Copies of this chain bind each other. A is one copy, B any other.
Amino acid sequence: MTPNAPLPDVQKTPDGRNIAIDKVGVRGVKFPIEVLDRENGRQRTIGNFTLTVDLPAEFKGTHMSRFLEALNAVGHEVSTASLPALVHDLTERLHAAKAHVDVTFPFFREKKAPVTGRAGMMEYECGFQCEGNGEFRTTLYTRVPVATLCPCSKEISAYGAHNQRGWITVRLEASEHVWLEEVVDWCEESGSCALFPVLKRPDEKWVTERAYENPRFVEDVIREVALRLDADKRVTAYEIEVENEESIHAHNAYAYLRRGKPPKG
């Protein structure tokens, strides 16, 4: 190459294979962000991003560095309100018909023990997905641990009942703002008992007895979450997964339920 000549742009050379690509971009991009927090206004956390656009058949490649520049430009605020702007910015920078942003992050709430009120921090994996161009579809994502106690084990045993940590994953679309905290609450109400960061003995007695009084299969848990989502007029589509880390088996119990348009891109 001649010195000082502009470097060739290989990506924008034409491609003869005539194959359009649904999504191309970057994955596993870590970036400090701020998300909305119902109690405290905002919360600082760390996003793990996937950013993609479609690529028409005629171009050889996309320009990967522009995804990172878009992230820098839009700044650190991430919400269902702000994501369409980032998605739109990606379509502009990359001359794309459609873009997708998927971000997950640890989300913290202060949580008090049920009897003594001792407080601690409880972490939930949360996230948003947004895609489109002009019209945008946004999905909320939460993954919430709960305790589940087996109704069959309780019924057939002279005493005790096996219980375990279970994980509830919800992806939902809504017509109006839904707080992540609302979805977390719906999940925690749907297990046999919620989990807590700090439990003193009177609290441990309370959670043990509450789980025993409230036995739930994975089937019960998923239906309880579905009832709450069905009852909320804002929720227009959803997908729920429940997975129990069975304390009597090395494998897990699992349930899956979807309503409305599939919320996954």
Residues in A lying within 8 Å of B, measured CB to CB = 1, 7-11, 15, 17, 19, 21-32, 44-46, 50, 52, 55, 60-62, 64-65, 68-69, 71-72, 106, 108, 118-123, 145, 147-153, 155-165, 193, 195-202, 204-205, 207-209, 211-212, 217-220, 222-224, 226-227, 243, 245-258
Chain B residues with Cβ below 8 Å from A62 are: 219
Interface residue SS majority, chain A: mixed
User: Once bound together, how far apart are the Cα atoms of A223 and B17, in whole Å?
Assistant: 7
Chain B residues with Cβ below 8 Å from A160 are: 149, 160-161, 163, 208-209, 211-212
User: Once bound together, how far apart are the Cα atoms of A220 and B62, in whole Å?
Assistant: 11
Chain B residues with Cβ below 8 Å from A205 are: 7, 153, 156-158
Chain B residues with Cβ below 8 Å from A149 are: 160
Chain B residues with Cβ below 8 Å from A226 are: 17, 19
User: Once bound together, how far apart are the Cα atoms of A153 and B203, in whole Å?
Assistant: 10
Instruction: Please name 30 pairs of A and B residues whose Cβ atoms are closer than 8 Å in the assembled complex, sorted by A.
Output: A17-B226, A17-B227, A21-B219, A21-B255, A22-B258, A24-B222, A25-B255, A26-B251, A27-B252, A28-B252, A29-B197, A30-B250, A46-B46, A46-B108, A50-B254, A60-B217, A61-B151, A68-B197, A69-B198, A123-B250, A148-B247, A152-B204, A157-B204, A157-B212, A158-B209, A160-B160, A160-B208, A162-B211, A196-B248, A208-B248
User: Once bound together, how far apart are the Cα atoms of A245 and B163, in whole Å?
Assistant: 11
Q: Which of the residues B23, B44, B227 comes within 8 Å of A256, measured between beta carbons?
A: B23
Chain B residues with Cβ below 8 Å from A23 are: 254-257
Chain B residues with Cβ below 8 Å from A207 are: 162, 248
